[in-house]
Structure 1
Amino acid sequence: MRFRVLGPVRVSPRTPTAAKPRAVLATLLIQNDKVVSTHTLIDELWGTEPPRTATTTLQVYVSQVRRVLLEGEPDGRQPLITRPPGYLLRVSPDDFDLAVFERLRDSGRAAFARRDYAEASRQLREALSLWTGPALSGIPHGPTLQTSAIRLEELRAEVLEQSISADLRLGRHQELVGELMALTREQPLRESLQGHLMVALYRSGRQSEALEVYRRARRSLVDELGVEPSPALRKLHERILTSDPALAWRPTADPTPRPAQPRDVPVVRLPAPLPDFTGRTTELGHAERFLAGTGPVDSRVLAVSGRPGAGKTAFAARLAHSSGDRFPDARVLLTLRDAGGRALAPEAVITALLRTLEAPHASGAPADVLHARTRGRKMLLILDDAVSEAQVRPVLAALPDATVILTSRHALGALEGVQHLVLDVLGRAEAEALLMNCGGAAMADDPEATAEIARLCGGLPLALRVAAAALAARPHWTAADLARRLADERGRLAALRVGDLDVRGSLLTAYRDVTEDNRHAFRVLGLAPLPDFALWSAAALLATDPAEAERRVEDLVQARLLEAVRRPDRLTPVRYGFHALLRGLALDVLAEESPHHTSPATARLAEAFLTLTRHADARLAPSRDLMPPPATAPPALAPEDIVGPSPLRWFREESPGLLETIRQTHRAGLWHLCTALASAAAGYYEAAALWSDWQESHELALDAARETEDLLAEAVVLRSLADLEWQRHHPNAARDLYRLAWQLFTRAGHRVGAGRCLSGEADVLLGLGRVARAERNYARALSVARTEADPRGEADAERGLALVAQREGRLPEAHSRLTACATAAARAGDERWHAYATRRAATVTESAGVTQPLEVRPGVWLFPES
């Protein structure tokens, strides 16, 4: 055999002497006949910190491997070719020990399944004889080779155990005792080997030694793992204790195997089961009821759908592995795409099924042959990664009796007589459990970081597995280290790649499956505000009308690239959003493919938000905002329909997205939009007491105003920040900001703004007990408001003078001032301030209010110093 990986990596006639070229060869061999990307090879050789010359150095190593491979090719054909995005190695299965091993393993398992134990033992022992040491030894292991070595050693153990099972059934128990004693000393925690040794000793007349094996095995399990033996091993112990007659070996009535008929040979073509499969209890129960024929619908087809990385294939394989008794004729998984990710035609799927089911050559249409091959048989066929209903309809028609599980990113809702099951992301507890199961001690030692990793992966099973593998491949990392790397949304997908496990690549398949119009929509909608967005936001980002925006958004929902959430209690009952990892992908591909769309799309979204926010603010607090209207024409929106009669309700729903849009305008350098949006939102932030949002948005807006040297915008923002400091009971900071804002309003020639700053500073002075100075400021503010015809400023100043009068005991004057405040608020159209002034006027009493809390602005109370 020319190529060997089942032991030290070797190739005849000459093996590369340097370790890294051997590692390149091994990585290509493990992926024989598949393209291995340059990134995967670099990651394998140098990990996460490759040298600057990594690509050039890799090319040198590949050249060395090519020279070695060419020496063994009599016809001069080069088996290693360049195939973007990397390299492809094609070697004959007969020349490759791993391919021969897998062929012997499959034929040995098939012989075992048909109870031809002699043939099974021969084939499996021949497979084991190919091993010359630990798999892939003699070379450094990166993530791909490390994972592959673990998988191959597990396959070796599986084949060894099955060969021992075959030998035990052939009565070779005495010959097995020595081998099993050595194996159990090497692997004391492998219960299946302990059980085989107990059976071999018992059948050899050594019952006491068999019981001693159990005692030692139990002690090892308790001491090392803190667990009792499995129920199967405990049951075997009880049977040996009671000398169960059924445990003794008896030769079969006819030890000569008879030629098996095709239907007697089970065809099993399934990926290896995941040993750490976690969760999905409810979904598995539903699927098992379907397989048992006890589900709510009489159907033979189960369509399992879900986003990329949701674990649909692993879920289906798990079902198949646990259903051998129900489907003795065949259990097969067939992928419905080619190596390039393109959908197979229905005819190609049928032909591939015939080949997989080992159907004899027969004349006639392939669909008819498949129909005849599967008729009356108990078969479970998994058609994995279906693209559309049209792809699978002809296949299902050729499988009238087989039970079929379809997996697809789409719901395949147009198929008739099908049960549907959707796999969503894992819940918090299941996601954390999966990380613990896959990531080992590093995850278990830091449950807080593990919970954060689960959150950042969005509960997506593939991402969780890759995150755990990334940690296992880097023992110098902690779970907290990984969580920090995943916290950066722009770099998260890059961190979720280990060897050939690549979350980004999996998600890209769904992106590439949709039309170019929808790919464009997916990219641009990555700029939509978090955590979700309404349809008007999509229309603004995509520069289209709402009907076209809805069509594209719904297409993306059907492709599992977007999520739709229905909330009947919300003003906008249907809202859209991204899974955390898909939003990262959208931003990635936008930066790569459409970077020039970012700023215009952000501007369109901000202009739409500004139109709606100014409309809602004008309903909530008319004439409060002193920023001039935007110079550009607003987008074609219907604010009355979108905001509706309750501006507070609209603000509550859109506030997170509004703040995110303010951040985006600042990042994009859209300075005027940044200041205008923050100013328009200030009234809601005050009414809802959203101090942190108020602070963040206005700090960004202040920076934007200073970038453009816009005195008026800076003054507006500073006055709003002064209001915030006053409400936070920071009087000195508030007074300084009011004075600075007054100076800027005055320099800008904006007397209305300057007058309102006087009322604000007076509020601070009144709270500090400087009543006379406060009264002078209120009076100056009132004079300015009347001169400038500013009814809102007038209402504010009258309110302040009423507070002074009440504090000084001039109650009739306080009542008169509050009445004047209500009149001015009515002229301004501000129902909230009008109700406040009317309410206060009705409650002015004999008390001067010095020792009682006062409502000094609508919803804002001043508590006296104790």
Structure 2
Amino acid sequence: MRFGILGPLEVTGGGTGGGTDDAADGGPVVSYAPQAAKLRVVLGTLLVRANEVVSSESLIDELWPEAPPRTATTTLQVYVSHLRKTLGSADPRGGRESLVTRRPGYLLRVGADALDTAVFEDLARRGHQALRDADFGVAADLMRRALTLWRGPVLSDTPHGPLLDGAAVRLGEVRSTVLDERIRAELHLGLHRELVAELQELVAEHRMHEEFHAHLMVALFRCGRQAEALRVFAMLRRTLVEELGIEPGPSSRRLQRRILEGDPALSMPGARTGSGIGAGSGSAVRSGAAGPGATDAAPADGTQGWSPALGALPPADPRFAGRSAELAELEQLLRAAPAGGCVAVTGLPGTGKTALAVESAHRVADAFPDGQVFLDLRRASGPPPTGAEILDRLERAPLTGRRVLIVLDHVTSETQVRPLLPLAPGSALLLTAGRVPAGLPGLRPVVLGPWRPEESRRLAGLFTEHGGPAPGPGAVDEIAGLCGGLPLAVRAAAAQLAARPHWTPATLADRLRDEGGRLDALRAGDVDVRARLLEAYAAAPGAERRTFRLLSLLPPGRFGARQAAAALDLAEPRAAAALDALADERLLAVDRDGCHLPELLRLLAVERLELEEAPEVRRAAAERVCRAYAAAAAQPGRLADADARGLVRLARTAHEAGLWALAVRLTDATGGWVEEDAEAAYTLALDAAVRCADRSAQARMERSLGDLAWQYRRAERAHELYAGALAHAREAGDEEEAGRALVGLAELRLDAGSAAEAAALLEPALAALSVPGRTRGHYEASRARALLALAQDGPEGAETARAWFGECLRLAGALRDHRLEVYARRSLRALSATAGGGGAARRAVEIRPGLWRIQPAGVRS
């Protein structure tokens, strides 16, 4: 079974005649492309993101970009079911199973050679490398083969939503690059005559594409048609001036001059054609020759590729906000930089390193009166440029004797920078990098973290610049928090609002709260947070990528080497070294309080763990982490709220892995400090207890759920749960849990006005819970006994209640539970304040911490 999206959607296979193998062996090939437009949208979206999980939300947005129907989720499930049948028909041996449900959506497994885009990008990568290696024949052949895979615009027969639009733009750019590099290779091979007609068509179609015009100028010049070559330049200049008000770039102007001069070197395929200074001329880059290993990678068509030009900084962004402290630091470092000064902007992916570098370069422009040079070292495919290549490009700019600022964006290694040093006096180097390039003399780093809340609030304008409703400060704070404080993510969120006028900031925040779909929601056009984070992840060594994936099993928040050791299955010292290595790759945030995975990186790590680690590896690692946290939580000391939330999350992890006893143990370890989603947490633990046939644990969870139902005044449900807890505790022989269940039932009877029935239940409960070691249950029984005494009018009842609340205060101190201690003190103060007021018709009684009841006088006994 094979797929094609470089043109109309294609699905071909051998069908029932033998599946993909028969088709590959020359058997009958049948088209199985869906006819229904909606099915093509779903399949096309899954193919654009082949072998990745695509969230249901993204698919729904693609199917109904304007307003999804209320039945969108159900309809999507129907479409997926139809696609599975189609894939099963195309490949009976495994087509149906290739489309799997994977939280939070679906994943389509596709072989590397079964999808035309994968084949195209592999051929493009190999052709690019061959071009770099000056193997022009191989490069041209590979790129021709890549281009023949295109049958038309991406998914030309399929409606496009935001995801498909973005993919079409990206693939179109890659195709343009491949076409450009194929022409370069063929010019090196002397095929200029054969290229003229094709290039004339290309410049007619792409009237502002300077590279294609330059290729045509060189081809015509080499054919002896100098005047026509100059007319091509004139046509390009007229188009740019009339439609954009700009002149052609420096490379095109240099090429025009050389054609005017009839430069004979331009007629020779493969000749060096740069117009800047050569090696050894003492440029602002450095003194001396280019040195061993310097390469001459100039294209054969007379253009400068990504060669620099003075004053070539990207324009300043008028929407730039925040980073005032870092900007001030950068400005001070660059203005005070000694000869050959080097400053690096580094930090987590998505923190806005490039934007900050460009903004600071504009602000210090007056300190470098001869201009700035900007080089983006990213490449669409193939390895990043070497230091020798960068030096070669820089030495073509007219930098001799000038004071310039050189900005290198996306540096990946110190080896890219070292050949440039030392700089000539008066010049400085500003670079951006995911990690600090080690070993560069005199390097001054400026490290970026997430935006601070006050910086994020300055971005409210981003959410209104397209006419949307203005979010309040609270909404901005929440959206920025859900974006992890990353500028790139906040801009993606703002772009989502702009693309969906029917959304409000509250709608956006609601989409972002869904962890499973958050990264999908942070993709708008060419602003793709997941893609940016994936770049950083893919650039890291394999060992660090594995560390990154496994750390996603730890609960959100700070951790240290001890917790990481459990996830990584390493001794603590080795785990500490692994954390340091991951921090060096800027995939882990570290400060004096410990380590943490920034939220969006954590979500990416969760995805990669699911996609790249085998189920047995994930289960074993999850079990190690859960056991380590359960053991740590069993140590004396009060849990922080964040710790309790982490244990609840781990209990969920244990449940998903089928580790039933561990799920119960982790929930027990919260010590009742579960606040958010407490009912869901105890319900999950109850299910785990039932599955592992632990009647005592079942009683504990039923009693905890009974407490919650009672607090929400759902008395009937609370009675049902307490009764179940009592039965299961007695079945397990657990006297403590039986006693605590009796206390719950007694409080229900007391609330219903049956003091005598409550007293009858409390008597055996107190007997069971007064045993040493059952302090919390003893506290609960003493509290219920105090409330029973309050139900009696007169001083005698008040004094009895005072004695029991005093006992509560003593037991709370033994438990070191501040919340229970405060409750006991508050109850005693209330008794003192109402002393002598026993005859009041009604009084407020706090029956549990934070839970009040209006107590009528004369409760029935």
> TM-score normalized by structure 1?
0.60
Give the match for residue 160 of structure 2: none
What's the % identity of the aligned pairs? 31
Q: How does 1:661-680 map to 2 (within 5 A)?
A: 661-680=650-669
Alignment of 1:781 with 2:845, yes or no, is no
* 1:455–1:128 Cα change, 3 Å: farther
Q: What is the letter of the counterpart of residue 777 of structure 1?
A: L
Q: Give how far 1:308 is off.
A: 2.2
CA deviation string 1:816-840 (max 9, x = no partner): 9749968995999788889999999
CA contact (8 A) 1:310 1:423 kept: yes
Give the match for residue 234 of structure 1: none
2:48 aligned to which of 29, 39, 44: 39
Give the match for residue 445 of structure 2: 420
Q: Tell me, which stretches of 5 or more residues in structure 1 are unaligned?
A: 1-18, 22-36, 67-72, 107-121, 134-152, 167-258, 359-372, 567-573, 617-646
Give the match for residue 159 of structure 1: 246
Alignment of 1:814 with 2:814, yes or no, is no
RMSD (Å) for aligned C-alpha atoms = 5.6
* 1: CA distance, partners of 2:457 / 2:145: 42
CA deviation string 1:453-496 (max 9, x = no partner): 65543343334445556666778988777666555433443454
SS in 1 for 2:672: helix
* 2: CA distance, partners of 1:290 / 1:816: 68
Alignment of 1:768 with 2:752, yes or no, is yes
CA contact (8 A) 1:671 1:707 kept: yes
Q: Which range moved further: 779-788 or 553-562?
A: 779-788
* 1:423–1:676 Cα change, 3 Å: closer
* 2: CA distance, partners of 1:469 / 1:826: 53
1:683 aligned to which of 651, 669, 672: 672
* 2: CA distance, partners of 1:783 / 1:430: 60
Alignment of 1:354 with 2:373, yes or no, is no
Give the match for residue 560 of structure 1: 586
CA deviation string 1:598-641 (max 9, x = no partner): 3222222222222233334xxxxxxxxxxxxxxxxxxxxxxxxx
1:588 aligned to which of 587, 594, 607: 607
Q: Tell me, which stretches of 5 or more residues in structure 2 are unaligned?
A: 1-5, 9-45, 55-59, 65-78, 88-107, 125-136, 150-170, 185-195, 215-227, 254-274, 285-306
Q: Give how far 1:293 is off.
A: 2.5
* 1: CA distance, partners of 2:230 / 2:368: 24
Q: How does 1:175-324 map to 2 (within 5 A)?
A: 267-268=309-310, 270=312, 272-273=314-315, 275-280=317-322, 282=324, 285-286=327-328, 289-290=331-332, 293=335, 300-320=341-361
SS in 2 for 1:564: strand
Q: Give how far 1:382 is off.
A: 1.0
CA deviation string 1:402-427 (max 9, x = no partner): 22112111234754434432333445
Give the match for residue 509 of structure 1: 535
Q: What is the letter of the counterpart of residue 388 of structure 2?
A: E
* 1: CA distance, partners of 2:505 / 2:727: 53
Give the match for residue 220 of structure 2: none
Q: What is the letter of the counterpart of residue 658 of structure 2?
A: G
Q: Give how far 1:714 is off.
A: 2.0
Give the match for residue 179 of structure 1: none
* 1:397–1:602 Cα change, 3 Å: same
Q: Give how far 1:381 is off.
A: 0.8
Q: Give how far 1:588 is off.
A: 1.8
Q: How does 1:632-781 map to 2 (within 5 A)?
A: 647-648=637-638, 650-685=639-674, 690=675, 692-781=676-765
CA deviation string 1:655-713 (max 9, x = no partner): 2322322332333333222222223324334xxxx3x4432321222233334454332
Alignment of 1:407 with 2:432, yes or no, is yes
Give the match for residue 441 of structure 1: 466
* 1: CA distance, partners of 2:326 / 2:213: 29
Alignment of 1:523 with 2:549, yes or no, is yes
Give the match for residue 146 of structure 2: 82
Of structures 1 and 2, the larger Rg is shown by 1
CA contact (8 A) 1:523 1:590 kept: yes
SS in 1 for 2:608: helix
1:612 aligned to which of 609, 626, 632: 632
1:130 aligned to which of 236, 248, 254: 236
Q: What is the letter of the counterpart of residue 39 of structure 1?
A: V
* 1:326–1:400 Cα change, 3 Å: closer
Q: How many residues align?
A: 637
CA deviation string 1:741-782 (max 9, x = no partner): 112223334333223322221122223331111111112323
Give the match for residue 864 of structure 1: 855
Q: What is the letter of the counterpart of residue 328 of structure 2?
A: H
* 1: CA distance, partners of 2:591 / 2:366: 41
* 2: CA distance, partners of 1:581 / 1:410: 18
Give the match for residue 549 of structure 1: 575
* 1: CA distance, partners of 2:710 / 2:246: 76
* 1:304–1:397 Cα change, 3 Å: same
* 1:305–1:836 Cα change, 3 Å: closer
* 1:464–1:780 Cα change, 3 Å: closer
CA deviation string 1:710-737 (max 9, x = no partner): 4332211111222233344444433332
CA contact (8 A) 2:769 2:778 kept: yes
Q: What is the letter of the counterpart of residue 490 of structure 1?
A: G
Q: How does 1:787-802 map to 2 (within 5 A)?
A: 797=781, 800-801=784-785
* 1:58–1:474 Cα change, 3 Å: farther
* 1: CA distance, partners of 2:412 / 2:688: 48
CA contact (8 A) 2:317 2:359 kept: no
* 1: CA distance, partners of 2:356 / 2:751: 66
Q: Give how far 1:522 is off.
A: 0.4
CA contact (8 A) 2:387 2:420 kept: yes
Q: What is the letter of the counterpart of residue 587 of structure 1?
A: V
* 1:677–1:516 Cα change, 3 Å: same
CA contact (8 A) 2:322 2:458 kept: no
Q: Give how far 1:561 is off.
A: 0.9
CA contact (8 A) 1:818 1:838 kept: no
CA contact (8 A) 2:351 2:449 kept: yes
Q: What is the letter of the counterpart of residue 183 of structure 2?
A: S
Give the match for residue 30 of structure 1: none
Q: Give how far 1:796 is off.
A: 5.0
CA deviation string 1:139-183 (max 9, x = no partner): xxxxxxxxxxxxxx89941416999xx9xxxxxxxxxxxxxxxxx
* 1: CA distance, partners of 2:508 / 2:420: 44
SS in 2 for 1:612: helix
CA contact (8 A) 1:663 1:700 kept: yes
SS in 1 for 2:855: coil
CA contact (8 A) 1:723 1:760 kept: yes
Give the match for residue 618 of structure 2: 598
* 2: CA distance, partners of 1:534 / 1:512: 24
Give the match for residue 34 of structure 1: none
* 1: CA distance, partners of 2:508 / 2:234: 39
Q: What is the letter of the counterpart of residue 654 of structure 1?
A: D
